């Protein structure tokens, strides 16, 4: 069975079963919790430094939220349900 065959079969499953498959696949990609926490701590330090040094510009939450919702709507409009 090819990856394409497996994907085609998975896409024919009911929505709740597809969600279950997706959750299991995503969980299989997760790294150990300690590694994730260290990576986030490093990223937060990097971002904080960039803001403090004036290398990054902040955006108001409502502005960014509107942009994210707009992008989600665009992506959903371009996707077809099996």
For the stretch 53-66, pLDDT in tens is 999 989 999 999 99
- C-alpha distance across the termini of the chain, in Å: 20
78 and 45 in a common domain: yes
**C-alpha radius of gyration, the chain, whole number:** 19
Output the pLDDT for position 82.
54
50 and 26 in a common domain: no
Output the pLDDT for position 34.
85
- pLDDT tens-digit map of 32-44: 888 888 999 999 9
76 and 50 in a common domain: yes
45 and 18 in a common domain: no
75 and 58 in a common domain: yes
75 and 42 in a common domain: yes
What is the pLDDT confidence band of residue 81, given thresholds at 50, 70 and 90?
A: low
Cα gap 62→59, rounded to integer Å: 9
**pTM greater than 0.85:** no
43 and 80 in a common domain: yes
Q: Which residue, among 36, 35, 58, 61, has the nearest Cα to 47 in the 3D structure? A: 58
Domain extent at residue 79: 32-82
25 vs 36: which has the higher pLDDT: 25
């Amino acid at each position: 069975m090819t990856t394409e065959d497996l994907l085609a079969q998975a896409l024919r499953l009911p929505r709740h079963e597809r969600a279950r498959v997706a959750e299991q696949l995503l969980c299989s990609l997760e790294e150990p919790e300690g590694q994730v926490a260290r990576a986030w701590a490093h990223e937060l330090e990097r971002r904080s430094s960039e803001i403090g040094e004036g290398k990054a510009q902040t955006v108001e939450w409502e502005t960014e939220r509107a942009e994210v919702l707009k992008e989600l709507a665009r992506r959903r409009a371009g996707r077809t349900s099996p």
